Chain A
Amino acid sequence: MHERKKEFTTISSRPIRQIYGPEDLSNFDYNRDLGAPAHYPFTRGIHSTMYRGQIWTMRQFSGFGTAVETNKRYKFLLEHGQTGLSVAFDFPTLMGYDSDQERSQGEVGKCGVAIDTLADMETLFDGIPLDKVTTSMTINGPACVLLAMYLVVAEKQGVSWDKVGGTVQNDVLKEFIAQHSWAFPPEPSMRVVVDMIEFCTKHVPKWNTISISGYHIREAGSTAAQELGLTLADGIAYVDAGIKRGLDVDEFAPRLSFFFNAHNDFFEEIAKYRAARRLWAKIMQGRFHAKKERSWILRFHTQTAGCSLTAQQPYNNVVRTTVQALAAVMGGTQSLHTNSLDETLALPTENAVRIALRTQQIIAHESGVTNTIDPLGGSYFVEALTNELERDAREIIDKIDQMGGMLKAIEIGWPQRQIAEASYRYQKQIESKEKIIVGLNDFVVKDEAPIEILKITDKTQSAQIERLKKAKAKRDDAKVRQRLSSLREAAKTNKNVMEPLLDCVRAYATQNEMIETMRSVFGEYRDPAIF
């Protein structure tokens, strides 16, 4: 019988058959392979009521200009029904530089909010009580600094740290693999991550210490299986590091969280999330012998795929984001960010981000998919795909084990090369029209009218430099120097860096002052430029 194409594949080039049936589930065992929600291996979901009990957290990644503008945007989003905060920092902040440095020229406030000292952090959360809202901060290399700042803001608000909830991304391994916002070389970066795990386990029990991420790996061009396999392999490396430090796995594993992409192929993504839960549960129980159920549970945030959006006919992006968000929900995500239609061109306008938020609210309250848990459970196709994703991810984890672990794999450039290959292959598929992107290589429109976008000018940089000057003028420089010196000591003598960092933050040390102090001990990392 004639079909439109020789082969039908997912966006990850996974072949898909014409139809799936009972033979695909011939070896299926409900209790072993799925289990009830909130029961090992958690394939169907991690809570007993899932969205019938509580809708996922609507958490839009957001930040631009100075803390003044971003504080306004946070209030706008909360007013419109967002249920959690998510901070996007600018590049100088992401890389540990201050706004007045040469390296930061032209970059201040353009891709996120500029944070130089505690003063900026205080402005960022002005009027936002940290015991009433949880915050996720997308920060990696300098995560220790930003976490310290957040905790001191809470302190100044009179909120005790046992009431503070949120997440720092803090997933340094994927920085070397994909996102590239490292502060130090791999080993000292890992040491700082474990310092933070140790500290939070004791003092900030509701804090998610890492958001082990596949999102960026996928954005860099990987397949769905690579996204899953590399992310869980990173997770394994973090658990290993914590155990090596002498921590009890059941003490810190419950506060590890995950972050996945929601890309175009609807069913492959749903299968990916289900496979993720099942595989992580097996790893935590079987490999690490964790005893607490909370250690076996994979909790995740999802963001719809930025790399799937087009600059051409941008309103089409609302549709893409909707399909992707729906996949995340049907896959059981705990928290979700939906991209705005204009994000290939700029950071989102108020109107664009409101549509993105409404997308989640319409799915939650109008589509009916939240009425039952794991609606696709038992589907021949989805169960077969879930098995495939689990198998393929496991293969990647095994390969990395054979290489000697993730740090070793990163050193020899294996994950980076895998991603570069997959990315190039996909580009060729688009250019040969093997894969269609509507508005780009088919259904094209010539001469489109431009849409309104958010513009961030260099006035932001001048304003931020003024703020930084003011903060520096008010502080006790001798105290700052003394506290930085204690930080250096801690870094050199293998003491936990969090307490000295908190002291530096309280004295209004700048981000770069703290990061450079640590870099003077830990060294720098240069991009190996693998392509």
Chain B
Amino acid sequence: MEKRIRILVAKPGLDGHDRGVKVVARALRDAGYEVIYTGLHQTPEMIVSAAIQEDVDAIGLSILSGAHLHLFKKVIDLLRAQKAEDIKIFGGGIISDEDVALLKKMGVGEIFNPGTSTDNIVSWVKRHVKVK
């Protein structure tokens, strides 16, 4: 039986707005992925540890607080240190076009901004996330 793709969806930092991340988690689950939602107030260390423990294929980060450059970088650096760079990274929130470009340079696969449909997110995951 084919292994199902596992995705960790997380809220790093202190931002408590989780309406979006919950909708994304549910849409991915409805699309057939195994979704682990970490809940709020996760540090980058907690996220990377959970991702490795759960053996996920991708991590989605939701950040609306403006702290995205700092938090994405920390997660990416920690994954590299743990030799887990093959985990795909994506995310969404309130992130300017300028910062989206910076994040992609860092290695983030895609950023989904306000107004994105869940269909778009699911399509992207289908195309870009494979079992590790």
Contact = CB atoms under 8 A, between A and B. Distances in A.
Which residue, of B14, B26, B40, B115, has the highest number of chain A Cβ atoms within 10 A? B14
A219 B13 CA distance: 20
A459 to B, nearest CB: 13
B41 to A, nearest CB: 6
A180 B18 CA distance: 9
Contacts of B25: 531
Contacts of A219: 19
A254 interface: no
* Residue of A94, A420, A453, A527 contacting most chain B CB atoms (<10 Å): A527
Contacts of B117: 430-431
A110 B65 contact: yes
Interface stretch (B66-74, B80-88, B100-108, B124-132): B66-74
Contact of A420 (B14, B17, B22): B22
A307 B13 CA distance: 21
Contact of B37 (A344, A431, A529): A529
Interface string A83-123: 00000000110110100001111110011000000000000
B65 A111 contact: yes
A110 B65 CA distance: 7
Contacts of A528: 39
Contacts, number: 95
Nearest to B13: A107
B97 A450 contact: yes
Contacts of B38: 529
A456 interface: yes
B52 interface: no
A423 B69 contact: no
Interface residues of A, number: 41
B112 to A, nearest CB: 12
A94 B119 CA distance: 34
Interface in B39-76: 39-41, 43, 65-71
B96 A526 contact: no
A237 interface: no
Contact of A527 (B13, B39, B97, B114): B39
A486 interface: no
Contacts of B113: 311
A57 interface: no
B16 A106 contact: no
Given A310-B115, A427-B118, A431-B119, A107 B39 contact: no
B14 A104 contact: yes
B78 interface: no
Contact of A110 (B16, B26, B66, B114): B66
A220 B16 CA distance: 11
Interface of A: 91-92, 94-95, 97, 102-107, 110-111, 179-181, 219-221, 307, 310-312, 344-346, 420, 423-424, 427, 430-431, 440, 450, 453, 456, 526-529, 531
List of 10 A-B pairs having minimum Cβ-Cβ separation, nearest first: A106-B70, A180-B16, A529-B39, A106-B67, A110-B66, A527-B39, A91-B14, A531-B22, A527-B40, A311-B114
